[in-house]
Structure 1
Amino acid sequence: MLTSLSNFARRYALGRNVLIFFCLQMLISAGILPYMQGKFDPTGIVGVLDLMFGFTPDEAYDKLNAYGEEGRKYYLFAEAVIDIIYPIIYTITNVLLLSYVFKKGFAPNSFIHQLNIFPILATIGDFAENAGIIAMLNAFPERADAAASFASNAGMFKWIAFGMSIALFLIGVIAWIVKVVKKK
């Protein structure tokens, strides 16, 4: 199944498709997400649990308290709707981007092509993090410390997987540059 998914992504890793999903990702991350954050964190001072690399249950509940009742409603909507769509978009973007640079930088039979679906791990972490945050929001004002710890750990997994995806992208770009330089 993973090989089929990897091959499918490689087939559709065309510059046009990468650009379309990249623009869609930028629209969400530069427009929709800041707009939503402004609804539950209008000062931008409190911050968002999703952007933290780990947090304690106390830190999480300090933020949820600071959002206020109305802010928590917006945050729940953002977590349950927007932050389900966004990981799908950024995963498609990242998988296509890795597939594209790997095609440009490596021989068609190279094992590295199978790593093009690595960004899916970040999405799994993101969905798990969202589930933990949603559980905390639904339980509020009661504390769900286990959900907070779960969300924190899932978020750290997400960020590590995302960082590794960036490293894979850089490896692909370097291989592509080396290939171009060798041809000249």
Structure 2
Amino acid sequence: MKDLIQKNISGKKVLLFFILANLVYAAMLIITIPEVMHYSGGMKILDMMPTGYDTYYVNTLLNTLGKSGRDSYLNHQLPLDLIYPALFGISSCLVLAYFLNKLKKLDSLLFYLCLIPLISGFFDYGENIGIISMLRDYPNISVLQVQITSTFSILKSILTSIYFIILIITLLAVAKNNFFPKKG
């Protein structure tokens, strides 16, 4: 895994994955999420709830969405959200690896921090599969379906937050090295 990452941290590849991931994310934020939220009566969709949700909320949301809103969620939002976790995981992994390499820390244990966005992407897939399952099973959603999907949502959010904190710290270290190089 380390060799694969090291072979793909050229600036152009990192930038390409970063742009692709953010184009898909922008499409979701600008087009598909507002489309689904048009039907939600102001309720947040499950993808946008970092602290999770319970069965009451899920049933209320899916009822409020109605058939058209549930179809929009299933056929417009979720197909894009099945592309995004891989793009986010890969691009974020490569971005962090790129900057750790600039710090000459990629060969240290810090390398394993690059795996956090890949694991976050895994949990995002779990969340998406759970949401697809609930949309298809509605109105017969089980408490267990909701609990498992909500857990995936929470874990995705925690790991994504940890990743961005690590990235900010890494970028600050790179900036410090660039503006205040070590003498000697």
* Shorter-chain TM-score range: 0.7 to 0.9
Q: Secondary structure at the match of 1:182?
A: coil
CA, structure 1 residues 108+157, in 2 after alignment: closer, same or farther (shift >3 Å)?
A: closer
Q: In 2, distance between residues paired with 1:115 and 1:50?
A: 24
Verify the 8 A CA contact 2:59 2:139 in the aligned structure 1: no
Alignment correspondent of 1:22: 18
Aligned match of 2:140 in 142, 146, 156? 142
Unpaired segments ≥5 residues, structure 2: none
Which of 67-76 and 25-34 deviates more? 25-34
Mapped pair 1:95 → 2:93: yes
Unpaired segments ≥5 residues, structure 1: none
Q: CA deviation at 1:43?
A: 6.2
Normalised by the length of structure 2, the TM-score is 0.88
CA, structure 1 residues 49+31, in 2 after alignment: closer, same or farther (shift >3 Å)?
A: same
Number of aligned positions between the proteins: 180
Alignment correspondent of 1:169: 167
Percent identity of paired positions between Structure 1 and Structure 2 = 27
Q: Secondary structure at the match of 1:19?
A: helix
Q: CA deviation at 1:32?
A: 3.9
Superimposed CA distance per residue, residues 36-92 of structure 1 (whole angstroms, 9 cap, x where no aligned partner)? 223322267222101102111111111111111011112112465221111111111
Residue type of the partner of 1:128?
A: G
CA, structure 1 residues 157+78, in 2 after alignment: closer, same or farther (shift >3 Å)?
A: farther
Residue type of the partner of 1:182?
A: P
Alignment correspondent of 2:30: 34
Alignment correspondent of 2:7: 11
